[in-house]
């Protein structure tokens, strides 16, 4: 249920965030007692001191996770028992939606409406969906002659590490925790240093739901310390990472330099939004174009920032999207009337502002946005016209509210420009001709293509990237389970009777 601004503010005033690590079923400090501070990016106010975990703490967490895994309290529990606990987590998240959503909004600068959607909707749905899968992971029997029985079985991979980004903190935690626990893994989770609080709160709920000690461990800390220690740990069997392509590469190296653990990568993007000449240019299309770019202030891996518009539609499209963009309200993320919250940090805001300057320097025309007078790290939604494919703002992931309009003459040209990128996470195509749209969808080298609407799919559909947006691993759908499962063949010699 949506509350008023005053009611959300009242919840915020009462919150007492916990910044401790969660290891072996206990909230605790980092071994060396060090802490760091997490702040509200919309105000700069310090929210809480957080345990600054390093390699020694990751090691404690992995030891606990391995002990729990080997004891079989979770890994060999009846699948129905794991299902019950995961369903209980979903219920507890629903019971605490308002507190968690306010905490998330304070820690990230995201709007309260987005936080309510994510925490009231998506997060519990994830736990519920993977709970329901826990007792449906079947193996196979291979065809053999009468003198053998060949079983192909699925087993939990062991200890799953997860290293998370700051843009959807609790959703990303759920994406990794729910499937890994459903199949029986133990987990060691590092939330992003900018946004650890909702994941730590979740630990409390997971314990209440009955997750045994040691099965889930949360080690807040920085990438160079806790993140790297997870990547290099010799007793972590698989790691699932969501973040930048630059750091994703490091996880491949960490694996090669340690125990060759499995590595699942979900990384950046530079996704196109393609409007073919025959598309119906109506309010619905404009709404999808605006939301694909400015949802979460553009801090979204699948943000459709290269908007490729058929030349005859460019003028109409530009006028209409400008009207929509100018109606977005920037401001206090806890106010339900706010559409766009704050960038995550000052450094991130500065980086986005540098991209905006580079667009201007390269000769693109700034139509609106480009900064903000509000205190905090706000940037108004920004639209550039006349963006050429070789400009920096057309090639690099900006991860902020900067949309570029790129006219094209033919569908082949649109396909060529859209595909000419190192990334391959997402694309949107609008056309009234389903055959043309399908041809585009099949031709684009991306993990997800949405047609006549911007969508990342939902929990049932795998999400991940081609090229440098991902490894072959996928989050979501039944495919996510593969990141956390081993396949074993048991070949039984039998006597033909
Ligand atoms: P980031 O790569 O800087 O950080 C992600 C995580 O990696 C954080 O927990 C961080 O502490 C850790 N990390 C940083 N340096 C590390 C190192 N040297 N060793 C080990 N761990 C390290 O990314 P970010 O800034 O948090 O997130 C933004 C990026 O994430 C964008 O590129 C975005 O596109 C991507 N992203 C992708 C998806 C997806 O599903 N494909 C979803 C959300 C975000």
Q: Domain containing 477 — which CATH number?
A: 3.40.605.10
Per-residue CA distances from 18 to 76, 188, 202 (Å): 31, 18, 11
Residue 210 is predicted with a pLDDT of 98
Q: Which helix (H) or strand (E) holds 46?
A: strand 46-51
- List phi, psi (to 5°) of 342: -95, 155
Q: Is the CB of 193 under 6 A from ligand 1?
A: yes
What confidence tier does 371 reach under pLDDT thresholds 50, 70, 90?
confident
| Ligand 1 centroid distance, CA of 246 (Å) | 8
Burial 164-180 (b: 16+ CB within 10 A, else e): bbbbbbbbbbbbbbbbb
Atom of ligand 1 nearest to the CA of 348: 25
Average pLDDT over residues 448-453: 98
Residue for token pair 């079983």:
151
Average pLDDT over residues 398-426: 98
Sign of the torsion formed by the C-alpha atoms of 370, 372, 378 and 381? negative
Q: Is the CB of 376 under 6 A from ligand 1?
A: no
Marked catalytic residue, from 118, 193, 266, 380 = 266
Q: Indicate which residue's Cα is closest to atom 11 of ligand 1.
A: 223
The answer to whether 72 touches 78, Cβ cutoff 8 Å, is: no
448-451, strands of its sheet edge to edge: 365-368, 382-385, 402-408, 306-310, 272-275, 426-430, 448-451
What mean pLDDT, rounded, does the chain reach? 97
Cα(231)–Cα(254) distance, rounded to whole angstroms? 5
Atom of ligand 1 nearest to the CA of 344: 25
- Answer whether residue 174 shows pLDDT above 80: yes
| Ligand 1 centroid distance, CA of 243 (Å) | 2
The answer to whether 494 touches 149, Cβ cutoff 8 Å, is: yes
351 and 397 co-located in one domain: yes
61 and 12 co-located in one domain: yes
| Ligand 1 centroid distance, CA of 347 (Å) | 15
59 in a domain, yes or no? yes
465 in a domain, yes or no? no
Q: Is the CB of 53 under 6 A from ligand 1?
A: no
21 and 70 co-located in one domain: yes
pLDDT per residue as tens digits for the range 209-222: 999 999 999 999 99
The answer to whether 159 touches 118, Cβ cutoff 8 Å, is: no
Range of the domain at 40: 5-267+470-487
Q: Indicate which residue's Cα is closest to atom 16 of ligand 1.
A: 223
Average pLDDT over residues 159-188: 98
Q: What is the CATH number of the domain that holds 339?
A: 3.40.309.10
421 in a domain, yes or no? yes
260 and 346 co-located in one domain: no
Those residues with Cβ within 8 angstroms of residue 6's Cβ, 6 or more apart along the chain or in another chain:
none
Q: Indicate which residue's Cα is closest to atom 22 of ligand 1.
A: 223
496 in a domain, yes or no? no
Q: Is the CB of 58 under 6 A from ligand 1?
A: no
Alpha carbon 200 to its chain centroid, in Å, reads: 17
377 and 341 co-located in one domain: yes
Q: Is the CB of 244 under 6 A from ligand 1?
A: yes
| Ligand 1 centroid distance, CA of 195 (Å) | 12
| Ligand 1 centroid distance, CA of 266 (Å) | 9
| Ligand 1 centroid distance, CA of 302 (Å) | 14
Q: Is the CB of 231 under 6 A from ligand 1?
A: yes
425 and 476 co-located in one domain: no
> Ligand 1, from 247, 396, 471: best to mutate by most atoms within 8 Å of Cβ?
247
Q: Is the CB of 387 under 6 A from ligand 1?
A: no
| Cα–Cα nearest to 17, from 231, 262, 220, 179 | 220
Atom of ligand 1 nearest to the CA of 425: 41
Residue 23 is predicted with a pLDDT of 99
Q: Is the CB of 347 under 6 A from ligand 1?
A: no
Atom of ligand 1 nearest to the CA of 245: 32
What confidence tier does 291 reach under pLDDT thresholds 50, 70, 90?
very high
Average pLDDT over residues 171-181: 98
Domain count, the chain: 2
| Ligand 1 centroid distance, CA of 328 (Å) | 27
223 and 327 co-located in one domain: no
26 and 87 co-located in one domain: yes
Cα(240)–Cα(120) distance, rounded to whole angstroms? 24
What confidence tier does 10 reach under pLDDT thresholds 50, 70, 90?
very high
282 and 297 co-located in one domain: yes
Atom of ligand 1 nearest to the CA of 222: 11
Helices (H) and strands (E) in the chain, counts: 16, 21
| Ligand 1 centroid distance, CA of 80 (Å) | 34
Q: Indicate which residue's Cα is closest to atom 4 of ligand 1.
A: 243
Average pLDDT over residues 246-253: 98
Biggest CA pair distance of the chain: 85
Q: Is the CB of 457 under 6 A from ligand 1?
A: no
The answer to whether 413 touches 428, Cβ cutoff 8 Å, is: no
Active site residue 266: yes
- Answer whether residue 497 shows pLDDT above 80: no
Tokens of 183: 């199949």
497 in a domain, yes or no? no
341 and 224 co-located in one domain: no
492 in a domain, yes or no? no
Alpha carbon 472 to its chain centroid, in Å, reads: 16
Q: Is the CB of 248 under 6 A from ligand 1?
A: no
| Ligand 1 centroid distance, CA of 205 (Å) | 25
320 and 182 co-located in one domain: no
Per-residue CA distances from 447 to 110, 322, 396, 443, 467 (Å): 26, 29, 18, 11, 9
Counting residues of the chain whose pLDDT is more than 90, the rounded percentage is 98
195 in a domain, yes or no? yes
pLDDT per residue as tens digits for the range 228-242: 999 999 999 999 999
What confidence tier does 264 reach under pLDDT thresholds 50, 70, 90?
very high
80 and 109 co-located in one domain: yes
383 in a domain, yes or no? yes
What confidence tier does 484 reach under pLDDT thresholds 50, 70, 90?
very high
- Answer whether residue 496 shows pLDDT above 80: no
Q: Is the CB of 224 under 6 A from ligand 1?
A: yes
Q: Indicate which residue's Cα is closest to atom 35 of ligand 1.
A: 243
Cβ burial, residue 356 (10 Å; 0-12/13-18/19+): buried
């Amino acid at each position: 249920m949506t509350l008023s601004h005053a009611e959300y503010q009242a919840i915020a005033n009462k919150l007492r965030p916990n910044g401790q690590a969660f290891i072996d079923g206990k909230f605790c400090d980092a071994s060396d007692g060090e802490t760091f501070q997490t702040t509200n990016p919309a105000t700069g106010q310090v929210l809480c001191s957080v345990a600054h975990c390093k390699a020694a703490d990751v090691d404690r967490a992995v030891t606990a996770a391995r002990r729990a895994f080997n004891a079989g309290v979770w890994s060999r529990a009846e699948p129905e028992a794991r299902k019950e606990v995961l369903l209980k987590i979903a219920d507890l998240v629903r019971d605490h939606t308002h507190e968690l959503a306010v905490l998330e909004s304070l820690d990230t600068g995201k709007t309260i409406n987005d936080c309510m959607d994510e925490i009231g909707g998506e997060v519990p749905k994830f736990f519920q969906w993977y709970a329901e899968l826990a007792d449906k992971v079947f193996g196979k029997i291979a065809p053999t002659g009468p003198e053998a029985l060949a079983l192909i079985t699925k087993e939990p991979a062991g200890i799953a590490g997860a290293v998370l980004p700051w843009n959807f903190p609790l959703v990303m935690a759920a994406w990794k925790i729910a499937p890994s626990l459903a199949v029986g893994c133990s987990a060691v989770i590092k939330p992003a240093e900018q946004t650890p609080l909702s994941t730590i709160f979740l630990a409390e709920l997971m314990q209440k739901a009955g997750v045994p000690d040691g099965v889930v461990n949360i080690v807040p800390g920085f990438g160079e310390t806790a993140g790297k220690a997870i990547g290099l740990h010799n007793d972590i069997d698989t790691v699932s990472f969501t973040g930048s392509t630059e750091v994703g590469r490091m996880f491949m190296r960490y694996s090669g330099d340690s125990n060759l653990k499995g590595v699942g990568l979900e990384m950046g993007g530079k996704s196109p939004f393609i409007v073919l000449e025959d598309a119906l240019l109506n309010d619905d299309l404009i709404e999808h174009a605006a939301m694909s770019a400015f949802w979460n202030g553009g801090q979204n891996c699948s943000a459709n920032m290269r908007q490729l518009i058929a030349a005859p539609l460019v003028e109409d499209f530009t006028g209409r999207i400008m009207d929509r963009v100018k109606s977005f309200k920037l401001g206090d993320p806890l106010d339900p009337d706010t559409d766009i919250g704050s960038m995550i940090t000052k450094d991130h805001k500065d980086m986005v502002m540098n991209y905006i300057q580079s667009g201007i320097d390269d000769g693109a025309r700034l139509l609106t946005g480009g900064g903000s007078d509000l205190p905090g790290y706000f940037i108004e939604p920004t639209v550039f016209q006349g963006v050429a494919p070789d400009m920096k703002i057309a090639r690099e992931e900006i991860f902020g509210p900067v949309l570029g309009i790129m006219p094209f003459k033919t569908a082949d040209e649109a396909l060529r420009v859209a595909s000419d990128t190192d990334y391959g996470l997402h694309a949107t195509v609008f056309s009234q001709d389903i055959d043309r749209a399908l041809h585009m969808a099949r031709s684009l080298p991306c993990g997800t293509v949405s047609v006549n609407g911007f969508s990342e799919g939902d929990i049932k559909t795998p999400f991940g990237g081609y090229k440098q947006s991902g490894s072959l691993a996928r989050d979501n759908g039944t495919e996510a389970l593969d990141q956390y499962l081993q396949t074993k063949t048991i070949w039984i010699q039998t006597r033909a009777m």
